[in-house]
Amino acid sequence: MEHPLSTLEKLLDLVIPDPADCLREAAELRLKDPNATAEQIARRAVKDSRKWAASVGAATGLAASPITMLPAAIADAAAMLRLEGKLVGTIAALLDPDSLSNPENFRRDIIRNVFPGAVSQALRKLGVRVGEEATKNLVRKLASREAAKEISERAVKFLGIRLTEKAVAAKTVPLVGAGIGAAWNWTEIQIVGNRTIDYHLGRETPTTRIRKRVKLLFQPPPKQLPGPNTA
């Protein structure tokens, strides 16, 4: 019987698309609306992927039961990883086509946008102080084999957690599971797409902006210096 970690590692390999396919998809999207900006086309790609993701979640949830929930979750994960990886690669082809020319950078960009927590944890373990959202320049500097191995290991762990959560939440009760699976996948694709657009445009994600605002709310007010007439 195959070890669970081996299964997860094989699943993770599905997330890395063929750069040529991503460039071809980006070119086809541009042809559909040549007057749209690159970001507008990227958001259209997210919208199209959401529909496919919801269909996958509904289909795997519909046939699920307590007995088949794990195989259903694995099938869902395999389809979603392919979908997310292709979306991230297509957005990169639209917003930063040069990033597809370096296979290692391309792989790191894909992993970072599908599993951002894995990259952040790997960076911290390697002694890099960084927030939850690692910037493109910082991710690109992680060229060592040690960094690549650490990121992949962390991504496998995050995938295992995601797989377990989805198996329990969306793959246990037929019909109900179909609705949960569709909504879950729709939201997941939306988050991944928005995160990737912000990443390639060098913008902070909404999560980072909210975190900063909350931090400001809890900061003590600056101390006022005594005025000239204060005794």
Task: Flag whether 228 is in a domain.
Answer: no
Task: Flag whether 231 is in a domain.
Answer: no
Task: Flag whether 123 is in a domain.
Answer: yes
Each of the 231 residues of the chain gets a pLDDT tens digit; together they read 444 456 677 777 889 999 999 999 999 999 999 999 999 999 999 999 999 988 887 776 655 555 556 677 778 888 888 999 999 999 999 999 999 998 888 988 898 898 887 777 666 666 665 554 567 777 766 655 566 677 777 787 877 777 776 666 554 555 455 677 788 788 999 999 999 999 999 887 666 655 555 555 666 665 655 555 554
Task: Flag whether 229 is in a domain.
Answer: no
- Number of Cβ atoms within 10 Å of the Cβ of 149: 11
Task: Flag whether 140 is in a domain.
Answer: yes
Task: Flag whether 66 is in a domain.
Answer: yes
Domain tally, the chain: 1
User: Which residues lie closer than 8 Å to 136 by C-beta, 6 or more apart?
Assistant: 109, 199, 200, 202
49 alpha-carbon distance from chain centroid: 13
Name the pTM for this structure.
Answer: 0.74
Amino acid at 115: F
- The rounded distance, in Å, linking the Cα atoms of 162 and 108 is 20
Structural domain boundaries enclosing 184:
4-217
Task: Flag whether 226 is in a domain.
Answer: no
Task: Flag whether 225 is in a domain.
Answer: no
